[in-house]
Amino acid sequence: MNGPRRSEYAVAIVGAGIIGLFTAYHLARAGVGPILVLDRGFLSSGASGRNGGGVRQQWETRATVRLARESVASYRHFGRDFGYNIWFRQSGYLFLAETNADLDRLRPVHELVRSEGLHSRVLDPHGVGRLVPGIAPGAVVGGTYLATDGILYPFPAVWGMYEAARGLGVEMALGLEAVGVATRDGRVNGLRTSHGSIATPKVVNAAGGWSGDFSGAAGLEVPNRATRHEILATEPMKPFLDPMVVRPSDGLYFSQTMRGEIVGGLTLRHPPGADRGMASSAAFLPRMASALSRLIPRLGALGVLRAWSGFYDDTPDGLPIIGEDPRLPGFYHANGFGGHGFMLAPAATRRVARTVLGERTDLDPSVFGPGRFTGPAPPSSVERLQLG
């Protein structure tokens, strides 16, 4: 591309993933303009095009449960609102417990979710077996299950938000990299790009796995770290599995698509940082194959169609960073979502937009604000259920 069409914008949003696009849409709906959304890659080149499509409401933190519940409600009528079918099916999320200690760790999540009015259930091995036919005998002692969690197809969601924001006049600049910000009197007054600079008083960092790097380019020290996670898709088989299945002990997660493929991943330790790229590792396929076939033996005969990887944008407390940075007025964070930007995007970005508009939100800054990492006290909440 040749660069922005204007020399000045009311807001510039760095990152054209689901977080950046939803934020642009909410701001445009509020009458803000002109707005520029720029991305170094193509549409869906980042985590928004590389995830497993899970949308769950089971979390350790009450505020996150509430954001997720609101997001699920939004995804239920996405097709009506935006004209794109995201194939959202509420077939549930099942967390597996291999030991009684694992089950004890899941029970507080279950109780919190129920206290928020969601009908979570604790299952014994028989109940798990009914949801996962063919699970190996003795593989689990139980699990927790929420039927209103679900799975969607990410690409039409991204395309839908892209077209919705463009329809409201938002300018999209794909293949344009943000390289830093300009300041005056201690606040943002411009954005530097690979095709020159633009004037803007407000910059939103929604760059996902690259958000820590971009914050650093703006002169801000942040705790975000990009961590690479891998995923695969198998050849199709006769449908047998409805829920997304997650095993917290090793980060295994998988679901079956409506066409019959098994799609899932497993947590492997890779060096942090986005500079090593998003290639698949030699260790992933055998580890994933072993984990799946031990849990459900008949899956061992499946062939793998493809494997890929993407970045989580992780924070030390497992919670996203939302709001204006107190060290640089005009610089707004919409990042740190781990691998769960899609799960929280509709609700979280409403709060991002309100913050950019100068409005108060219902988010506790000690839980979600960027200032929680700059004070003497540690963050007040921690979310450890960062998988699947």
Per residue in 52-94, pLDDT tens?
999 999 999 999 999 999 999 999 999 999 999 999 999 999 9
Per residue in 225-280, pLDDT tens?
999 999 999 999 999 999 999 999 999 999 999 999 999 999 888 888 887 778 88
Whether pLDDT at 284 is above 60: yes
- Of 271, 289, 313, which one is at a domain's C-terminal end? 313
Per residue in 92-122, pLDDT tens?
999 999 999 999 999 999 999 999 999 999 9
Res. 386 pLDDT band, cuts 50 70 90: low
Query: 82 and 102 share a domain?
Result: no
Mean pLDDT (the chain, rounded): 94
62 to 59, 108, 195, 338, 366: CA distances (angstroms): 7, 11, 43, 17, 14
Beta-bridge partner residues of 340: none
Percent of the chain residues topping a pLDDT of 90: 90
Mean pLDDT of 334-362: 96
Using DSSP's 3-state secondary structure scheme, residue 2 falls into coil
Predicted local confidence at residue 267, as pLDDT: 87
**What distance in Å separates the CA atoms of residue 25 and residue 274, rounded to the nearest whole number?**
27
Query: 83 and 160 share a domain?
Result: yes
Query: 157 and 211 share a domain?
Result: yes
Mean pLDDT of 127-139: 97
* Total domains in the fold of the chain: 2
Query: 158 and 40 share a domain?
Result: yes
68: domain range? 1-89+149-224+315-388
Query: 139 and 252 share a domain?
Result: yes
Query: 34 and 57 share a domain?
Result: yes
- Of 295, 313, 331, which one is at a domain's C-terminal end? 313
Predicted local confidence at residue 2, as pLDDT: 66
- Of 278, 313, 348, which one is at a domain's C-terminal end? 313
Whether pLDDT at 388 is above 90: no
Query: 309 and 235 share a domain?
Result: yes
Predicted local confidence at residue 279, as pLDDT: 83
**204 or 384: which carries more pLDDT confidence?**
204
Q: Is the dihedral of CA 358, 353, 64, 312 positive or negative?
A: negative
**φ/ψ of residue 75, rounded to 5:** -65, -25
Mean pLDDT of 200-223: 96
Token look-up 């996670």 returns 229
Tell me if 90 sits within 8 A of 77, measured CB to CB. Answer: no
Whether pLDDT at 376 is above 80: no
Predicted local confidence at residue 354, as pLDDT: 98
Whether pLDDT at 338 is above 70: yes
Domain holding 320: CATH number?
Answer: 3.50.50.60
Query: 205 and 344 share a domain?
Result: yes
Task: Pick the closest to residue 243 from 332, 160, 171, 149 (CA basis).
Answer: 149
Query: 8 and 59 share a domain?
Result: yes
Domain holding 298: CATH number?
Answer: 3.30.9.10
Query: 231 and 366 share a domain?
Result: no
Tokens encoding 318: 């497992």
Query: 334 and 388 share a domain?
Result: yes
Query: 66 and 101 share a domain?
Result: no
